Amino acid sequence: MSIPLLDLKAQYLSIKEDIDKAILNVLDSCKFIFGPEMKALEDEIAAYCGTKHAVAVANGTDALVLALHACKIGPGDEVITSPFTFFASAETIANVGATPVFVDIDPVTLNIDVDLLEKKITSRTKAIIPVHIFGQMADMEKVMKVAEKHHLKVIEDAAQAIGAEYMGQKAGSIGDAGTFSFFPTKNLGGYGDGGMVVTNDDQIAEKIRILRFHGSKNKYYHQEVGFNSRLDEIQAAILRVKFRYLNQWNAARRNKAEIYDQLLKPLADEGKLILPGKDPRAYAVYHLYVLRTDERERLAMALDERGIACAIYYPLPLHLQNAFAYLGYQTGDLPVAEEACTQALAIPCYPELALEAQEEIVKVLYSVFES
């Protein structure tokens, strides 16, 4: 049996007719940029997230850059984020000229440890970017409390968490702004790049609309220097078809995760594995199902031998990346994130994954610990 980490082909085949039709409609309309599909997707996602605005952009990285600009973050400012995430979460802070400040992570959810947050706040701190890693929500109650107390902006990096909830509120809708990525492998993935910012703040939304279009509100009149960051109509049309299935697919991911949780519990009880942690206040959407184990290498080899894909998320925390050497962090500074990077292993968990495949994967995991 060959089992991929994610089966985009199976998903496409399950909705092929609607996807193909949506693409052909765009071709037929010959409206490729800034058209009705993008506008409709913005309205649908704003309604879904319960936010006043949604602004489509070219990718999830741009969504963060533009949200940071709209929050007036720039040179001299510090922005606190997690070291255990995809590079873009912090790269974007540096890209607007600000300084990323990393806080260690919570050993249960692998999201920023809110109890360490206040120690990192200085007079230069302007914002916090909590990342809802693997679709598990950060402790937004505490993040918002700290942010309010210190007058900080909060930009949720919800690239991996569209549809997740925290105390009934959708990921992205709790902070000043929230960002999504429609990279093909994300829970709502296009067939190319795409991204979005959601916000309840009229000024932030307006600013991002201007920035994404060369700093212009009216064509050929530019009030500032901006960017070219747009979601094209073909991607928007594809995403609108897939968006109709998002809740169902997220529920299916949760169901697969629950099956793993049950089947792997004995190994976790014996201390051989750490299963993905949960926050009872949150509805997680399992962008990835990430185990932690000291036997990662043996597990990965055994899975590979049987044609089962697995992957390391993430091999190196951001504070130890060469690109951030200038920040001066040392090994040992953020021990929980560093340990997670030596233990984390994602196993297949996607809506189309069959129960027999999960059972096969679990069997391989047990065989490693029994040998």
Binding footprint of ligand PLP on the chain (CB under 6 A)? 59-61, 85-86, 88-89, 131, 157, 159-160, 181, 183, 193, 195
**Amino acid found at 118:** E
How many Å apart are CA 106 and CA 11, to the nearest integer?
33
CB of 301 to ligand PLP, least distance (A): 26
Pairing mode, strands 195-199 and 177-181: antiparallel
The strand pairing partners of 198, in sequence order, are: 54, 178
In the bound state with ligand PLP, the residue whose beta carbon lies nearer, of 313 and 329, is 313
CB of 365 to ligand PLP, least distance (A): 25
| H or E element at residue 31 | none
Q: Which residue is nearest to ligand PLP (CB)?
A: 60
CB of 272 to ligand PLP, least distance (A): 28
In the bound state with ligand PLP, the residue whose beta carbon lies nearer, of 51 and 61, is 61
In the bound state with ligand PLP, the residue whose beta carbon lies nearer, of 195 and 226, is 195
Order of strands across the sheet that contains 165-166: 169-170, 165-166, 282-283
Q: What DSSP state is assigned to residue 218?
A: E
In the bound state with ligand PLP, the residue whose beta carbon lies nearer, of 98 and 365, is 98
In the bound state with ligand PLP, the residue whose beta carbon lies nearer, of 197 and 361, is 197
CB of 209 to ligand PLP, least distance (A): 19
Cβ–Cβ < 8 Å for 117, 103: yes
In the bound state with ligand PLP, the residue whose beta carbon lies nearer, of 195 and 348, is 195
CB of 157 to ligand PLP, least distance (A): 5
3-state class (DSSP) for residue 317: coil
CB of 221 to ligand PLP, least distance (A): 29
Helices (H) and strands (E) in the chain, counts: 13, 14
3-state class (DSSP) for residue 56: strand
